[in-house]
Structure 1
Amino acid sequence: MSVLSLAPRALYEEVAELLRQRIFSRELEPGSWIDELKIAEEYGISRTPLREALKVLAAEGLVTMKVRRGAYVTEVSDKDLTDVYHLLALLESDAAGVVAQRASDVELTELQTIHAELEGAIGQRDLFFAINERFHMRLLEIADNRWRMQMVTDLRKVMKLNRHNSLLKTGRIDDSLSEHRAVMAALLAREGELAMQRMQEHFHNGLEAAT
């Protein structure tokens, strides 16, 4: 009897993840040109897997390919941000409404635990962002719509291109945490409409801070 083995992660996928993290950390700044020769040399790879990785990032909106000029880290305009936040507000508020009405007590307790971690991350910007994203993604998992999850995942990648700007605004982390408390309270009360409203407000305020 033959044993099936899973294929290892493709090299271009590994390279895409490395570049994705460099973009999110601002090591590769929005608008900057991506030096393919230099990066291929750094990673000890040929340009073929690097170009495949850039195609992946271009499909995600993180990289922009320019004819005869190469690849650039995408610059997000105010309109881009407005469009992204608008869609995220619609998708995630809908998910919050579903969770308030259908989540099990165990799932709500899990969200409450993540929220408690968020409360403890004040003053640690990067940690706060990581826990915040984990809360949102877990809420989406509980809402259980893979198409919504896929769309939100892609939109959040674009949002991250601008995320540090929003955090630099005085008091935004405190405000964001307060908004999370309101969302969590509505979820625990199993008030679907209120949970949707609170999540909409959360993204509306996030957009104001990001632009």
Structure 2
Amino acid sequence: MRALASSLHDDVASQLRDYIFDGQLRPGSFIDEVALCELWSISRTPLREALKVLTAEGLLRHEPRRGCFVNEVTAQDLDNIFPVIALLEGRCAFEATQRATPEDLKALEVWHRRLQQHAEAGRINDYYQANFAIHEAIIQLASNKWLTQTIDDLRKILRLARLQQLYAPGRLQQSLAEHLAIFAAIKAGDAAGADAAMQHHLLQQREALLDLASFSRSVLTV
């Protein structure tokens, strides 16, 4: 029975996580426990266990006597996290380059063709999914469980804001060019070049978020 209860709250946590990442629950949104229990036909116990999991992950915050809310990533959070994840994913690109087989490169080639097609068509959500898959593939190729675990924790937080950066003017094509530079270094067997290109790519995401915030403020003041 305990295993079943654990499995249920894990499923609820996964579903709630998807709601947040899909934008159905926006940053700052209140988690209506009664409504979710009715929607998913579950009791409060697995939901509350799931809320504890997502709070520990940093996706939710609990406010005494008020309940849980979807966390809002601050500018300081982004300034702190992006340089760290840039170093970590850069190292993944380095190790992935050393391990990549011809079959791995063919698979990455397919993903990059899709990425380019989505960029050319302006399909931001599809681009983001392909982009995420490429990052995931490079992390898996690195085959370093410590890097994977640490990056996974940070990515959960960044996913609250990361998609937004693709809406910055000119960012979609810039992101594509950065990805193609990473892939070119991996194909060439240039591990240090792949590391540097990946770090540049991640740091540019932070710059794009800053540009988007500045652009939004300028539009509001016109």
2:109 to 109, 112, 118: 112
Q: Secondary structure at the match of 1:10?
A: helix
Partner of 1:90: 87
Distance between the aligned counterparts of 1:118 and 1:169, measured in 2? 17
Matched, 1:133 2:132: yes
Deviation at 1:99, TM superposition (A): 1.7
Partner of 2:188: 189
Superposed CA offset, 1:74-95 (max 9, x none): 0100111122211210111001
Name stretches of at least 5 consecutive residues in structure 1 with no aligned partner. Answer: 1-5
Partner of 2:66: 69
- Indicate how the Cα distance of structure 1 residues 175 and 73 shifts in structure 2: closer, same or farther if over 3 A, else same: same
Deviation at 1:8, TM superposition (A): 9.6
State TM-score, norm by structure 1.
Answer: 0.92
Partner of 2:202: 203
Question: What letter corresponds to residue 165 of structure 1 in structure 2?
Answer: Q
Deviation at 1:119, TM superposition (A): 1.1
Partner of 2:98: 101
Superposed CA offset, 1:149-190 (max 9, x none): 111122111111012321221111111000001001111111
- Decide which structure has greater helix share: 2
Distance between the aligned counterparts of 2:6 and 2:169, measured in 1? 42
Distance between the aligned counterparts of 1:8 and 1:51, measured in 2? 12
Question: 1:99-178 maps to which residues of 2 (within 5 A)?
Answer: 99-122=96-119, 123-178=122-177
1:42 to 39, 43, 62: 39
Deviation at 1:146, TM superposition (A): 1.1
Distance between the aligned counterparts of 2:188 and 2:198, measured in 1? 15
1:58 to 36, 55, 59: 55
Q: How many residues align?
A: 206
Distance between the aligned counterparts of 2:62 and 2:4, measured in 1? 29
**Do the aligned residues in 1 keep the contact of 2:128 with 2:163 (CA within 8 Å)?**
no
Superposed CA offset, 1:55-110 (max 9, x none): 11112211111222211100100111122211210111001111222322221222
Partner of 2:22: 25
Question: What letter corresponds to residue 163 of structure 2 in structure 1?
Answer: H
Q: Secondary structure at the match of 1:75?
A: coil
Q: Secondary structure at the match of 2:118?
A: coil
RMSD between superposed Cα atoms in Å:
1.7
Question: What letter corresponds to residue 162 of structure 1 in structure 2?
Answer: A
Q: Once structures 1 and 2 are overlaid, which stretch shifts more, 170-179 or 104-113?
A: 104-113
Distance between the aligned counterparts of 1:166 and 1:193, measured in 2? 26
Q: Secondary structure at the match of 1:190?
A: coil
Partner of 2:12: 15
| Percent of paired sites with the same residue | 40
Q: Secondary structure at the match of 2:139?
A: helix
